[in-house]
Structure 1
């Protein structure tokens, strides 16, 4: 890495530490479960194989995870409208409530932390996010593309 890419990578590492250590609720579902539920919330119902590929895990591992999520009542299987023999994994109402609650809690924790900043730092960070936000969304879209 060069041309400032190390600085960008270090910045991402700092943000990840903030999110994982200070903004994430460490009780409740596992990280893998939260990532899976979040994907279903963003992208909608998906086949088990598609979900496993998107999350970068094997079909047996995803199958075990989905079974646990079903037992918790956070996901349900629904008929695939394109192929009645297949099923899709979808968020249940309880799963949607869980995802929304965790997002709200994370935003509340972040608001508390942002409240400790000076007005100048807060304004600088807001401006930086206005610039970085669209770029980050493009990076996410790029990362979602198959290699």
Structure 2
């Protein structure tokens, strides 16, 4: 298999895995878009709505609606941007941070159950790629490399 085919195979495997992985914890009453906003803010910290429009890849009206619901639910706060009074800075509340942590813990537990069904060799091999995924995320966050904050 050449590099192009291998990348295509990896892409398909990641897409299929993500469709399972993203649903491991119960999403409850929040949409996937709202949950994505929470997880992004947890990862990158406070930011403006315009920054989230780039990373979340949804239209601004839909994102504005998701942000309003998250704020109404007490999971996110909106504060005036000290550099631009017309804009707001978004950040997680303690409740929002707790929800992200709970989802992470639940997802890790459920993934652990699935990993127990793999061979010991497969588990070791799979668990060893975490650092590589971290590096890919770091590369994607570099300026000019795609959706980022």
User: Do the two structures share a fold, i.e. TM-score over 0.5?
Assistant: yes
66-75 or 130-139: bigger deviation: 130-139
The residue number in structure 1 matching 2:48 is 47
Post-superposition CA distance 1:50-82 (Å, at most 9, x none): 222321223222211111111111111113222
Structure 1 residues 134 and 94: CA distance shift in structure 2, 3 A:
closer
Residues 8-87 of structure 1 mapped to structure 2, 5 A cutoff: 8-21=10-23, 23-87=24-88
Higher relative contact order (CA 8 A, sep 6+): 2
RMSD: 2.4
The residue number in structure 2 matching 1:132 is 132
Structure 1: runs of 5 or more not aligned: none
Cα displacement (A) at 1:30: 0.8
Cα displacement (A) at 1:134: 4.5
How many angstroms apart in 2 are the aligned matches of 1:131 and 1:90?
27
Say whether the 8 Å CA contact 2:38–2:96 is kept in structure 1.
Answer: yes
Structure 2: runs of 5 or more not aligned: none
TM-score, normalised to structure 1, is: 0.81
Cα displacement (A) at 1:116: 2.0
Question: Which residue of 129, 143, 146 corresponds with 1:143?
Answer: 146
Cα displacement (A) at 1:145: 5.2
Say whether the 8 Å CA contact 2:34–2:66 is kept in structure 1.
Answer: yes
Residues 118-129 of structure 1 mapped to structure 2, 5 A cutoff: 118-127=119-128, 129=129
